């Protein structure tokens, strides 16, 4: 049984069909990349899976349970985390506090309104562990606004990771990063994929081919190819639609 699955998922915006009858399977322990040209429907598909949008038709299944049309705020409680194209952190708070708030929201401590934050040792300890995974432990006491763009992308991933018990949805995590920052992000994604399944949207093909177990290619909202990296690279329709042909 797939960990996360879509069946015939379709999303229309008036006359525009942004997602067209998409069947997708993400297996437990898999790093699955979703690629395609701009406007192919990748982020719309993410938005439907994570509850930001309701599908026009089709279903979303998580661990065999139908979660179609579930409210977006309930999705993280299932153990599904997500990062966004635009970095989404609390710039006025310390790096540690950014993560601690998310960790606390997933625990029984969220109902304890009288306990001081400094006494939430379990949440703080877990936050440090997450920050170490993304390479920000040494900057735990920095304000998030003091981080570089690349470091804020890592913090955004840490917030999603604090939720992700089972699967992490990453929407272009290397966007705007330098080659050195991209290489570090790839290393971290590979490490994290040993603990949770990952569904990754990414435009940098050397990243996709380097990290993916399997790849799904979208074009104009529909799936045109699925398979391991070498199969996708050799697919003629993918080459015409996305990779380019001579």
pLDDT digits (tens, 9 = 90+) for 76-96: 889 998 888 777 888 999 999
Among 14-18, 129-133, 231-235, 237-241, the minimum mean pLDDT is found in: 237-241
Question: By three-state DSSP, how is residue 231 classified?
Answer: helix
Average pLDDT, the chain: 89
Q: Which of 81, 236, 91 lies closest to 173, judged by CA?
A: 81
The total of other beta-carbon atoms located within 10 Å of residue 135's CB is 16
Please state the domain extents for the chain: 1-79+203-246
Strand partners for 157: none
Pairing state of beta strands 197-201 and 80-82?
Answer: unpaired
- 55: confidence class by pLDDT, cuts 50, 70, 90: very high
pTM: 0.88
For domain 1-79+203-246, is the CATH number 3.40.50.620?
no
Among 57-66, 79-88, 228-237, the minimum mean pLDDT is found in: 79-88
């Amino acid at each position: 049984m797939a960990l996360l699955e879509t069946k015939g998922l379709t999303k229309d915006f008036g006359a525009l069909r942004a997602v067209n009858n998409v069947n997708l399977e993400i297996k437990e322990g898999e790093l699955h990349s979703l690629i395609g040209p701009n406007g192919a429907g990748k982020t719309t598909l993410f938005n439907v899976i994570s509850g930001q949008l309701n599908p026009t038709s089709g279903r979303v299944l998580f661990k065999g349970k139908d979660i179609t049309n579930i409210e977006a705020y309930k999705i993280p409680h299932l153990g599904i985390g997500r990062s966004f194209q635009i970095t989404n952190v609390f710039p006025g708070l310390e790096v540690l506090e950014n993560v601690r708030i998310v960790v606390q929201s997933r625990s029984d401590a969220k109902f304890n309104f009288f306990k001081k934050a400094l006494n939430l040792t379990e949440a703080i300890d877990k936050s440090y562990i997450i920050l170490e995974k993304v390479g920000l432990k040494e900057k735990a006491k920095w304000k998030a606004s003091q981080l570089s763009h690349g470091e804020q992308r890592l913090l955004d991933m840490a917030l999603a990771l604090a939720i992700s018990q089972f699967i992490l949805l990453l929407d272009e995590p290397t966007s705007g990063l330098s080659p050195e920052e991209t290489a570090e992000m790839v290393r971290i994604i590979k490490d994290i994929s040993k603990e949770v399944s990952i569904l990754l949207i990414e435009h940098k093909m050397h990243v996709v081919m380097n990290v993916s177990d399997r790849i799904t290619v979208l074009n104009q909202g529909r799936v045109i190819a699925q398979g391991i990296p070498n199969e996708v690279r050799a697919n003629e329709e993918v080459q015409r639609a996305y990779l380019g042909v001579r």
